[in-house]
Chain A
Amino acid sequence: MADWFRRAADSDIWWSFKSSPLTVVAAVATLLIILVSFLSPLIAPHTPFDPGSLNLSDGLKPPVFVSDEGDWTFPLGTDDQGRDILSSIMYGTRLSLVVGFASVIVAMVLGIALGLVSGYVGGAVDAVIMRIADVQLTFPAILVALLIDGIVRGLISVQRHDEIAIYVIVGAIGLSFWVQYARTVRGSVLVEKNKEYVQAARVIGLSPVLIMVRHVLPNVTGPVLVIATLNLGLAIISEATLSFLGVGLPSTQPSLGTLIRLGNEVLQSGDWWITVFPGATLAALVLAVNLLGDWLRDALNPKLR
């Protein structure tokens, strides 16, 4: 373990990381947001989505630092149901992150698996998978996600839909992002497949699965990591957009996007804090993740160094 750290600290990547202050800031910000949001049940001042804890008479309090009407119990103010905005944001960010990570993992696992199979097996299997990828590319992520959501909506009751909304969203976003991974992995497999060491491994009777996992996967870790990081930002935005359009997470378990939608309905009323703080949190989170992704891409692409 210590050895691993020493090697990591010596590496080019670490050096490039240290030498880019913006990236360090982005990494710290991302970690901070992740940490705070995942600890929200422990550190959030309120439990905004337990209806029993809400009191309408706390409703529409402005943030403490803009008005004397503010209340230190609710530092960033409250919405019209008396929910604490700060706690809502902490819980909402956690949900946005969970959806983001989960859908990236779904897309990654699916994409890598299909890419490996497609590249290694080739022939008809390859053709079919790549044609599906073509069809998939025909419909951009947000549309695929909307469609999947619409289909699920048509198949089950509203009550059921609210309960499984988060899985539907993860599935919808995950399914709409797999193509990039599949293409990258497939390309890499095609290159590696005919190299001598793979041929040799095949000759000595190693199973194809083992060969792929041992020899091919390590070669694509970099690009896949870059895609995953950039996709994380996209996935969070997609979720926010779906929720904004009213087909994402329900208001009983709001993500940042749902919070922005609820706030946007009253944006022109002067109660700006209900939208602005979740909006700013979303922008900061995605910006930080994108900065990391950008840096990672440049750092892993030696041609650009």
Chain B
Amino acid sequence: MLAFILRRLVQSVAVLLAVGVVSFFLFRYVGDPINAMVGQDTSQQERDALREKLGLNDPAPVQFFHFLVNAAQGKFGLSYRTSEPVSRMILERLPATLELSFCASLFVLFFGVPMGVYTGLYPRHWSSRLLQAVSLIGVSLPTFLIGILLILFFSVMLHWLPSFGRGETVDIGGWTTNFLTRKGLEALILPSITLGLFQLTLIMRLVRSEMLEVMRTDYIKFARARGLTNRAINFGHALKNTLVPVITVAGLQLGALIAFALVTETVFAWPGVGQLFIQSVQFSDIPVMAAYLMLIGLLFVVINLVVDLLYFAVDPRLRGGGTARAGGH
């Protein structure tokens, strides 16, 4: 048990280091940091002085070390585009993205799992087929198109829900939250649906196929033979057995939601880190890109770690191996 956790931790650190290397190369070698920082009339001497001052003449490993030390303290320098400290830009916008992703994943779980169970239990029923068809259309429509359609319908035509931004937020010690005002909550609805829809269909289809497989196993047949009620079989045995892959995928999807948020944020002008990243890509604002990369890397590693531990808790068979994962789905 302890060895497993330790190994996972070591792997996580290795992953983070790898992400760090990518970020560092991005930061240091894509576009000259000096060119992006000075005006056109800066003389060569001034440039050299700045280069020396920033330590850009040190050997690469030394620079990488400095980069990591700074990154660990949240220091990523100033944005090329707005001249603000990158860490402040990201911290200001992080709550928006996290709250949006959280709401979207609630939406996914609360609708996706029941829909999956239902279509898995009654695969031939017309309503299951309808849900299947709708989910296929959901997968086939790009997120940005769904967002535009929702805005057109619910904001512009019906005036029910706000079309952009976070509405009203409350600032609690630097964390701005949408959850405490009605306008803030309203503003969350459309972006959460937009962001969650794709993942919702994924989860639904996953749960459905897992349910279909489990329902065919001897284990369920025996349970039926033992005279257990349908309810007990469906939820006590079948659903529980589908949980392993669902947890894995749902966990990984939470990470995907945070990263995917960048499309939704662009469509809804949601002031989160994803929007910041897109702006940075267009302006080649490398420090922000590097910092965002590190942040997403960290989030994913943490999520992966938690998922692995959960996985481990749910499925005792895996306590020996540790590298097993749901493949092929």
Contact = CB atoms under 8 A, between A and B. Distances in A.
A184 interface: yes
B213 A245 contact: no
Contacts of A149: 281
A154 B29 CA distance: 9
B252 A137 contact: yes
B19 A138 contact: yes
Interface of A: 130-132, 134-135, 137-140, 142-143, 146-147, 149-151, 153-155, 183-184, 187, 223, 233, 237, 240-241, 244-247, 257, 260, 264, 267, 279, 282-283, 286-287, 290-291, 294, 303-304
Interface string B3-25: 00000000100110011000000
B293 interface: yes
Interface of B: 11, 14-15, 18-19, 26, 30-31, 136-137, 139-145, 148, 209, 212-213, 216, 252, 255-256, 259-260, 262-263, 266, 277-278, 280-282, 284, 286, 289, 293, 296-297, 300-301, 304, 323, 325, 327-328
Nearest to B297: A138
B213 A142 contact: no
A61 B30 CA distance: 44
Contact of A153 (B19, B284, B325): B284
A304 B209 contact: yes
Contact of A260 (B19, B26, B145, B296): B145
Contacts, number: 117
Nearest to B328: A184
Given A183-B327, A287-B140, A140 B255 contact: yes
B304 A134 contact: yes
B30 A290 contact: no
Given A244-B144, A245-B266, A154 B30 contact: yes
A162 B328 CA distance: 36
B282 A233 contact: no
Contacts of A260: 145
A264 B148 contact: yes
Contact of B142 (A135, A183, A240, A290): A240
B327 to A, nearest CB: 5
A244 B289 contact: no
B293 A140 contact: no
A161 B259 CA distance: 25
16 contacts: A131-B15, A134-B15, A137-B300, A138-B255, A139-B259, A139-B297, A146-B281, A151-B26, A154-B30, A154-B31, A187-B328, A241-B144, A241-B263, A246-B282, A247-B281, A279-B145
Contacts of A294: 136
A245 B260 CA distance: 12
Given A131-B14, A135-B15, A147-B289, A241 B296 contact: no
Contacts of A132: 18
A50 B266 CA distance: 32
Contacts of B297: 135, 138-139
B252 A291 contact: no
B15 A283 contact: no
A146 B213 contact: no
A143 B14 contact: no
A142 B259 contact: yes
Contacts of B18: 131-132, 135
B284 A150 contact: yes
A245 B256 contact: no
A140 B199 CA distance: 13
A231 B85 CA distance: 39
Contact of A154 (B277, B284, B328): B284
A157 B266 CA distance: 26
A283 B296 CA distance: 30
Given A154-B284, A183-B327, A187-B327, A287 B137 contact: yes
Contacts of A223: 328
A291 B136 contact: yes
A241 B142 contact: yes
A304 B142 contact: no
A247 B282 contact: yes
B216 A303 contact: yes
Contacts of B282: 246-247
Nearest to A261: B144
A286 B137 CA distance: 9
A143 B139 CA distance: 18
A46 to B, nearest CB: 26
B49 to A, nearest CB: 24
Nearest to B263: A241
A102 to B, nearest CB: 19
Given A291-B136, A304-B212, A140 B259 contact: yes
Contacts of A147: 26, 289, 293
A184 B142 CA distance: 26
Contacts of B209: 304
A260 B141 CA distance: 12
A138 B15 contact: yes
B139 A233 contact: yes
Contacts of A267: 148
B321 to A, nearest CB: 12
A149 B30 CA distance: 12
Contacts of A257: 142
A282 B328 CA distance: 27
Nearest to B137: A287
Nearest to A267: B148
Contacts of B140: 233, 237, 283, 286-287, 290
Given A131-B11, A138-B300, A244 B142 contact: yes
